[in-house]
A and B are shown apart, each in its own frame.
Chain A
Amino acid sequence: MLQFAGIRLSEANGRRFAVALGSATAHTLRSDVCPLVYYYADDRTAWPRRVPRPRVPGWRRMADVTAVRPATIAAFLLAMVIALPVAQSVYDIPVQHGDVLEPMILGATAPSTAQLFARSLHVATNTLRPLRFVQSRWLLQLSEATGASYHAVFRGVHALLAVVLVLLFVHAAGVRSWLDVAAVSIPLTVLLGMPTLVAVLGEAYPVNHFIEIAIFTLAVLPMAVRPRGWWTQAAAVLMLAYALLLLESGVLVWVAMVSCLLVGLPGLARRTVTVATVVLVAYVVVRFAIGLSAPAIGDHGSGYGTHFYSGSDLLEKFGARSIWFRVYNVVGALLGVLFSEPRRGVYQTAAIRPVFIINVLSSALTTSLIGWYLLRRLPRTRAAWTSHDRVMVVSVVLVVVNSLFASTYIKDEILSVAGVFYAVAAYIAIASLLRTCITYGAVAFAAAAITIVVVGPLWTFRVAGLHFQLKTAAFKTRNEWATARPPAEQDDATNDPTARAITRRLRSEAVARPVTNVHFLPHWGERYWVE
């Protein structure tokens, strides 16, 4: 019999330990993956002061980590069944018209990837996103090599990313028991129903890089929670470097790594986080060396009060350095994630529509569950935190820090990481609610049951709205291509033959592929799903 900080482990067959956590939530794990015991332990169980580091080959630890359980399979199947139609709706949206053309044309016309990388450093005055262009080039090359259409390649990657995000979420949740399956089911709908995800699935430039950042940031979590391995350390740093060169929001990968280390999750070494910090500093130095400025007020339109203002209007109203407007944006972004209101900085005061009630009610109840968990668990000392407590803290940190990114203007895509980690926080809170319900009095149990009964269907309804919004986006995007310019002028769109060929091909692909006519969608959908 072994004892780790309150967890009693009994040895069986010389290879396995059963975690004695009470009758309901016992897990069986191999002895050489001891830290997993702490991660999947009941949230009443304390985290050990010092986590024993297993000295076994990485491949063997991986095999143990992926040890298949029926509940785990069920959770992944559930996620897959829900994610596939979403991916299909994402795939049906034509490649976007407008901004998307710049990286594609630049990617296609550059003589080499290295030259494209160098050229892309000077494309904009306040952004450093070379991999955005390089990715476009890779996908164009893939299209040429395989003979697949641009639509198949670009939209296929976007749809694939949607599936990866959902499956990674289930993986990060670490589902091991049927209780976990029940607990992860609502957060799965939270993940897909968040307006931040609707935005990253509905738009692409030509692949939505915000969803890539969300995937990279979420991927840090299982790396930090599971036992250390050299490959996870290397992968974490590589992910950070890639994310930084993709989008400024890539900094959130570093934030996730640092906060995982600070809360005491065992997977990422201090040395790894130090290297990651060096990478980040190098990135900042390069930005200064190139002479890139920080995003300023007026770069984009954003909401204030009850109105949406254009960039120039905001500049006129607040100036370029208004602290007040920045604070307003950060608070608005945070509230938007936690309560689904305001949207893009605009507070609704006119006629309240059903979508407003559904979104605010579902988000407020979910946020209150997260708040309940935080109040109940976190006043303890850090040493007494369980792994779920630590992941909850990391999630809260990421939601708050991501909101800071919206200081100059609020856009749902920018908050995609916050949306994902809000769902993670919801998972931990709901898992805790389920695990501790046997200890409740009748009134508390009834309150918990009512909350679950209301929250679950509301988020499920919002997921149905995701399909509605994606179908509508497909219809609008195809129409934009069809009305791009009168037929007689098409060949004069640009003088560059490559750009002209790409534009013409994208247009013909978009028009040739039928999409759902919004006329056939439910007429009440606008009122219940679209803000």
Chain B
Amino acid sequence: MTRLRILGWLAILPCLVAASASAVQLMKSSTGRPLWGSEPETLPEAVASRNFGEVVRLIGLGTDPNRAAPVRADFVGGAPLRLTPLEAAVAKGYTDIAQILLDYGASPDSDALSRLRCYAEARRSSVRDLLVSLSPEPWPDCRQVQLPTRR
């Protein structure tokens, strides 16, 4: 009987752990903070994590696709930043999501475009061609352009 109990408990224990984790998951979901992390994102953060759905949703809710917003550490580099959505896309080298931002009304002015071009240059990003197609202006001298970093 002792052996039976030992084996029985050994068998059921992992399942009990799974059930406990599941119960915690259910409870946390009901409080709006699910166990499998889902946190509110800014538009540049959604861009940097290739969260296309969230990008479209946020813009649909009225978020300005040209406006800079905080970006937490680990989304773009290791430090917190403040970037526009296009800057985030260029920094990560995501041409497809940059194109979506442009489709949804992102329109960088000439200063912003220069910064973006320099950022693409600095990151050796593949969105360079997209940025070239936006404006026939010559490529800026990036030594005089402040790159989007901590502001």
Known: A85-B26, A512-B57, A516-B38. A445 touches B3 (CB 8 A): yes
Q: How many residues of A contact B (CB 8 A)?
A: 59
Assess the B18–A464 pair: CB atoms within 8 A.
yes
Q: Which residues of chain B (2-21) have a CB below 8 Å from chain A?
A: 3-4, 6-19, 21
Q: Are B11 and A456 in contact (CB under 8 A)?
A: yes
For B48, the closest partner residue in chain A by CB is: A519
B37 beta carbon closer than 8 Å to chain A: yes
CB neighbours of A460 from chain B (8 A) = 14-15, 17-18
| Given known contacts A82-B19, A456-B13, A515-B38, A434 and B8 CB-to-CB distance under 8 angstroms | yes
Q: Which of B78-86, B96-104, B117-125, B132-140 contacts A (4 or more CB under 8 A)?
A: B96-104
Which residues of the other chain, B, contact A510 by a CB distance below 8 angstroms?
Answer: 53
Chain B binding surface SS class: helix
Task: Specify which chain B residues have a CB less than 8 angstroms from the CB of A438 in the assembled complex.
Answer: 1, 3-4
A481-531 contacts to B, CB under 8 A, are 481-483, 486-488, 510-512, 514-521
Whole-angstrom distance between the Cβ of B36 and the nearest chain A Cβ: 5
Interface string of B9-48 (1 = CB under 8 A from A): 1111111111101110110010000101111010001100
- Which stretch (A29-37, A51-59, A180-188, A395-403) binds chain B? A180-188
A392 within 8 A of B: no
Given known contacts A488-B103, A520-B38, A511 and B26 CB-to-CB distance under 8 angstroms = no
* A residues in contact with B1, CB < 8 Å: 23-24, 438
Contact yes or no, A82 B56, CB < 8 A = no
Interface on chain A toward B: helix, strand, loop, or mixed SS? helix
> Is the Cβ of A517 less than 8 Å from the Cβ of B41?
yes
A399 to B7, CA, bound (A): 28
Contacts A179-B4, A483-B100; is A81 near B51 (CB within 8 Å)?
Answer: no
Tell me if B64 is interfacial: C-beta within 8 Å of chain A: no
How far does the Cβ of A469 sit from chain B's closest Cβ, in whole Å? 11
A107 shortest CB reach to chain B, Å: 26
Which B residues are CB-close (under 8 A) to A209? none
Q: Given A478-B53, A517-B38, A520-B37 in contact, is the A449-B22 Cβ separation under 8 Å? A: no
Question: Does A78 lie within 8 Å of B19, measured CB to CB?
Answer: yes
Listed residue (A181, A433, A456, A463) with the most chain B CB atoms within 10 angstroms of its CB: A456
B21 to chain A, nearest CB (A): 7
A517 contacts across to B, CB distance below 8 A: 38-39, 41, 46, 49, 51, 54
Q: Does A158 interact with chain B (Cβ within 8 Å)?
A: no
| Closest Cβ neighbor of A474 among chain B residues | B53
Chain A residues within an 8 Å CB radius of B128? none
Question: B4 — which chain A residues lie within 8 A by C-beta?
Answer: 24, 179, 434, 437-438
A179 cross-chain contacts in B, Cβ below 8 A: 4, 8
Are B22 and A81 in contact, CB atoms less than 8 angstroms apart?
yes
Flag whether A308 is at the interface (Cβ < 8 A). no
Cβ contacts A to B, 30 pairs, < 8 Å:
A24-B1, A78-B16, A81-B26, A84-B22, A85-B25, A179-B4, A181-B12, A186-B11, A189-B15, A434-B7, A437-B7, A438-B4, A452-B10, A453-B10, A456-B10, A456-B13, A456-B15, A471-B36, A478-B53, A479-B51, A481-B53, A482-B52, A482-B55, A511-B56, A512-B60, A516-B34, A516-B37, A519-B45, A520-B36, A521-B37
User: What would 11 more interface pairs be, CB under 8 Å, given A437-B3, A456-B11, A475-B51?
Assistant: A24-B4, A89-B36, A185-B11, A185-B12, A189-B15, A471-B36, A479-B52, A482-B100, A487-B103, A511-B60, A514-B57
B interface residues, Cβ below 8 angstroms from A: 1, 3-4, 6-19, 21-23, 25-26, 29, 34, 36-39, 41, 45-46, 49-57, 60, 74-75, 96, 100, 103-104
Q: Closest 8 A-B residue pairs measured CB to CB?
A: A185-B15, A520-B37, A478-B53, A182-B8, A456-B14, A519-B49, A482-B52, A460-B14
